[in-house]
């Protein structure tokens, strides 16, 4: 009888997920040996994963060390411009192509996520899941790939806009409006609702950043 092989852990995916979940935040130093110990992976795939993440601008050099990159104001603004348009397109296509079951799942997500309104970290995770479901419901693999890249870069923002007072409840109301448009199969309304949702998130983040600057002065 042949032995079953243990699946090889994907070092790149493990590190990326750790950044996305906030285990490693912008400015944190990534040490090859520590990562190998944490994930139970040999140092060679860790080294290759770090090189790949550096090439993708997820990591940057600080002397001889690699640290998780951060986005400056202009980079953040550029990212939100792209995200707004791509997310809106995903909603428009989802209104046209989503299976009824996919839309029902989105509706269930909105209702379930209201329990998380006072937990910004959990709500941020649920928010990513909600948006990913819309991406998949667009049934356009190329759009999903581009949105994956955008959301990967979103992990380089140190805080979530959902941490702002009152933003969680408002964001869920906006999710409700998006799903309602999908239920009506109204592509233009879904596009507008999702673009407005991302615009509000960007505006909230700008206010948080301005408050942080003021507090530091």
Give me the pLDDT at residue 129, please.
94
pLDDT-based confidence at 84, cuts 50/70/90?
very high
Q: Which of 60-74, 160-174, 181-195 has the highest mean pLDDT?
A: 181-195
- pLDDT by residue (tens digit) across 2-25? 333 334 568 998 998 888 877 898
- Average pLDDT value for residue range 25-34: 91
- pTM confidence score: 0.82
- Average pLDDT value for residue range 150-156: 87
Residue 215 has pLDDT above 70, yes or no: no
Give the residue extent of every domain in the chain.
11-68, 73-216
3-state SS track over the chain = CCCCCCCCCCHHHHHHHHHHCCCCCCCCEECHHHHHHHHCCCHHHHHHHHHHHHHCCCEEEECCEEEECCCCHHHHHHHHHHHHHHHHHHHHHHHHHCCHHHHHHHHHHHHHHHHHCCCHHHHHHHHHHHHHHHHHHCCCHHHHHHHHHHHHHHCCCCCCHHHCCCHHHHHHHHHHHHHHHHHCCCHHHHHHHHHHHHHHHHHHHHHHHHHHHHHHC
Residue 133 has pLDDT above 70, yes or no: yes
Give me the pLDDT at residue 2, please.
37
How large a percentage of the chain has pLDDT more than 70? Answer: 92
Residue 214 has pLDDT above 90, yes or no: no
Domain 73-216 falls in which CATH fold? 1.20.120
Domain 11-68 falls in which CATH fold? Arc Repressor Mutant, subunit A (1.10.10)
């Amino acid at each position: 009888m042949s032995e079953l092989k243990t699946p090889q852990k994907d070092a790149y995916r493990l590190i990326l997920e750790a950044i996305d979940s906030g285990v490693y935040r912008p400015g944190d130093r990534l040490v090859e040996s520590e990562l190998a110990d944490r994930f139970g992976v040999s140092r060679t795939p860790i080294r290759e994963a770090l090189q790949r993440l550096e090439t993708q601008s997820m990591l940057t050099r600080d002397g001889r060390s690699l640290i998780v990159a951060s986005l400056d104001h202009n980079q953040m603004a550029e990212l939100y411009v792209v995200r707004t348009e791509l997310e809106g397109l995903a909603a428009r296509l989802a209104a046209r192509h989503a299976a009824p079951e996919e839309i029902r799942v989105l509706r269930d997500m909105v209702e379930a996520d209201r329990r998380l309104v006072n937990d910004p970290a959990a709500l941020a995770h649920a928010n990513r899941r909600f948006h990913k479901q819309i991406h998949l419901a667009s049934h356009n693999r190329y759009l999903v790939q581009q949105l994956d890249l955008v959301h990967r870069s979103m992990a380089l923002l140190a805080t979530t806009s959902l941490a702002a007072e009152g933003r969680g409840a408002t964001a869920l109301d906006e999710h409700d409006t998006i799903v309602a448009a999908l239920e009506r199969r109204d592509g233009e309304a879904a596009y507008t609702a999702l673009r407005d949702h991302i615009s509000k998130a960007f505006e909230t983040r700008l206010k948080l950043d301005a408050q942080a600057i003021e507090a530091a002065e």
